Amino acid sequence: MTATLLDGRSAAEEILGAIVGEVSRLDRPPHLAILRVGENEASRCYVERKCATAKRIGIRTTSRVLTASANLEEIIGQIDRWNGDSGIHGILVQMPLPDSAMHGAVFDAIDPKKDVDGFNPHNFGLLAQGRGGGFVPCTPNGIVHLLRRYGIATSGRHVVVIGRSTIVGRPLSLLLQSRGMDATVTQCHSKSENLREIAKSGHILISAAGSPGLVGGDWIGDGAVVVDVGQNFIADPSAPSGKRLVGDVDFAAALDRCSYVTPVPGGVGPLTVAMLMKNVLMARIANGC
Ligand code: GUN
């Protein structure tokens, strides 16, 4: 069997094309504020990509970088200034922070109406209760969009999600079991026993573990759908930068076993950015000015 690639780039371009049309009808563009803390190279790349995409489709961005030694007061001070600025429609704090113990307080500080990541407990709670009307985290929303675009059914099917982060695994599991998606979800994590057997039993296997090569061919059931959320930089002396981006899945092995698979890069990543832009547009429309 040779799998069909789930092409995140073209799916993302369709979404961005629709947003351009809507943005052009507004009297003032949507405005996204992005905060980055410390010098994490991957985070810097992701934020640059978000800003470049926003610019291309007419969304304004303001970004601020704080040093790794910034304390919670400084971080929340910046968020509060953006919360109170009616010219800012969406706020994003790039994760992870140098001190992960701050994550909760930072999620709490962002005004739910500007929380385009959907990590504030208000928006997360709406998702957990199966209620609409809140912002849905971008990567899970992108994955669901990609499955739908390729006509991959989730209702009644067993979806195995590896990873329980606030950014991907946890909200993704909630979204997949919501009404309309109706999947039977098994949420796995680093302490799960028999991970390989559980993974293999999934009609759809989604890995968001951040562990290169974790999912080998023998983790994938025949004809399964494989979504690789991993974004791991590994050393590669033959690459100009000395490193290469890979996912969690042994891609060559997956191609032979599954029905559909996302490549890395070019799978989930572009959809995360597209869904962020969609949330920023929603924030601008809902909150005006
Ligand atoms: N780090 C990795 N993915 C994300 C994301 O979707 N949002 C934020 N804020 N940080 C991230």
Answer yes or no: is the C-beta of 95 below 6 A from any ligand 1 atom: yes
Centre of ligand 1 from the C-alpha of residue 94, in Å: 5
- Assess whether 249 and 145 both reside in one domain: yes
Answer yes or no: is the C-beta of 272 below 6 A from any ligand 1 atom: yes
Answer yes or no: is the C-beta of 106 below 6 A from any ligand 1 atom: no
The predicted-structure confidence for 107-119, as pLDDT tens digits, reads as follows 999 999 999 999 9
Angle, to 10 degrees, between the axis of helix 138-149 and the axis of helix 268-287? 110
| Active-site residue, selected from the candidate residues 111, 114, 115, 117 | 117
Which residue from 103, 165, 167, 271 has its CB within 8 A of the most atoms of ligand 1, so it is best to mutate?
167
Q: Is residue 15 part of a domain?
A: no
Residue 289 is predicted with a pLDDT of 62
Give nearest CA residue, ligand 1 atom 8.
94
Q: Is residue 246 part of a domain?
A: yes
- Assess whether 209 and 246 both reside in one domain: yes
Q: Is residue 12 part of a domain?
A: no
Q: Is residue 56 part of a domain?
A: yes
Residue 218 annotated among the catalytic residues of the structure = no
- Assess whether 91 and 207 both reside in one domain: no
Kindly report the CATH number assigned to the domain that includes residue 106: 3.40.50.10860
Which residue from 40, 51, 94 has its CB within 8 A of the most atoms of ligand 1, so it is best to mutate?
94
How many domains, the chain? 2
- Assess whether 70 and 178 both reside in one domain: no
Which candidate, 222, 211, 224, places its Cα nearest to that of 264? 211
Last residue of a domain, one of 113, 146, 177: 113
Which residue from 95, 168, 275 has its CB within 8 A of the most atoms of ligand 1, so it is best to mutate?
95
Centre of ligand 1 from the C-alpha of residue 167, in Å: 6
The predicted-structure confidence for 209-237, as pLDDT tens digits, reads as follows 999 999 999 999 999 999 999 999 999 99
Q: Which atom of ligand 1 is nearest to the CA of 93?
A: 9
Centre of ligand 1 from the C-alpha of residue 12, in Å: 17
Domain extent for 75: 27-113
Answer yes or no: is the C-beta of 34 below 6 A from any ligand 1 atom: no
- Assess whether 40 and 75 both reside in one domain: yes
Tell if the pTM clears 0.95, that is, is over it.
Answer: yes
Q: Which atom of ligand 1 is nearest to the CA of 139?
A: 6
Residue 50 annotated among the catalytic residues of the structure = yes
DSSP 190-223: TT-SSHHHHHHT-SEEEE-S--TT-B-GGGS-TT
Q: Which atom of ligand 1 is nearest to the CA of 95?
A: 10
Q: Is residue 128 part of a domain?
A: no
Per-block mean pLDDT, blocks of 10 residues, the chain (289 long): 94 98 97 97 96 98 98 98 98 98 98 98 98 97 98 98 98 98 97 98 98 97 98 95 96 97 98 98 90
Q: Which two tokens stand for residue 58?
A: 């007419």
Kindly report the CATH number assigned to the domain that includes residue 192: 3.40.50.720
Q: Is residue 104 part of a domain?
A: yes
- Assess whether 57 and 145 both reside in one domain: no
Q: Which two tokens stand for residue 243?
A: 């490193």
Q: Is residue 87 part of a domain?
A: yes
Residues 107, 269: Cα–Cα separation, whole Å: 22
Give nearest CA residue, ligand 1 atom 11.
95
Which candidate, 126, 127, 47, places its Cα nearest to that of 92? 47
Answer yes or no: is the C-beta of 93 below 6 A from any ligand 1 atom: yes
Residue 117 annotated among the catalytic residues of the structure = yes
Strand, coil or helix: 188: strand
Residues 261, 167: Cα–Cα separation, whole Å: 21
Q: Is residue 238 part of a domain?
A: yes
Quote helix, strand, coil % in the chain, to nearest 5.
40, 20, 40
